[in-house]
């Protein structure tokens, strides 16, 4: 999982075209968590992300919204101040964070 200092969508910009990045930024259903997920996919699985993008904007945005919702719900239900990282919480909930 990506951690550290970088701007949202920095990694995704290296993999996806500018029109698709613009669509992600403008999609009202996608927020910072979605941007973080997209960066994670771009960093860890750039080829798989490009394959998903080739299926079309609707497919990519739909998959991203689905993943964002899943991760958001798991993290929302997590105990506050548990000392557990987001990555660990997702793993403990058996959430697949990478593109398959």
Dump pLDDT digits (tens) for 58-72. 999 999 999 999 999
Residues 6+ apart with CB under 8 A from 59: 52
Q: Round to whole Å and give the CA distance between 58 and 60.
A: 6
3-state DSSP call for residue 56? coil
Predicted confidence at residue 82, as pLDDT, reads: 75
In order of 30, 73, 89, 92, the CA distances from 95 in angstroms are: 19, 11, 9, 8
Q: Which two tokens stand for residue 84?
A: 């557990």
Predicted confidence at residue 83, as pLDDT, reads: 85
Other Cβ atoms closer than 10 A to 28: 5
pTM of the model: 0.89
Say which DSSP state 80 is in. T
- Under-70 pLDDT residues of the chain: 1-4
Q: What percent of the chain has pLDDT over 90?
A: 84
Predicted confidence at residue 3, as pLDDT, reads: 57
């Amino acid at each position: 999982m990506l951690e550290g200092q970088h701007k949202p969508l920095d990694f995704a910009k290296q993999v996806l075209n500018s029109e698709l990045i613009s669509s992600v930024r403008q999609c009202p259903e996608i927020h910072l968590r979605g941007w973080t997920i997209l960066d994670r996919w771009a960093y860890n699985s750039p080829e798989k992300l490009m394959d998903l993008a080739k299926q079309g904007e609707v497919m990519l945005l739909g998959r991203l919204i689905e993943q964002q919702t899943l991760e958001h719900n798991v993290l929302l239900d997590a105990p506050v101040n548990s000392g557990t990282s987001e990555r660990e919480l997702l793993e403990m909930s058996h959430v697949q964070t990478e593109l398959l």
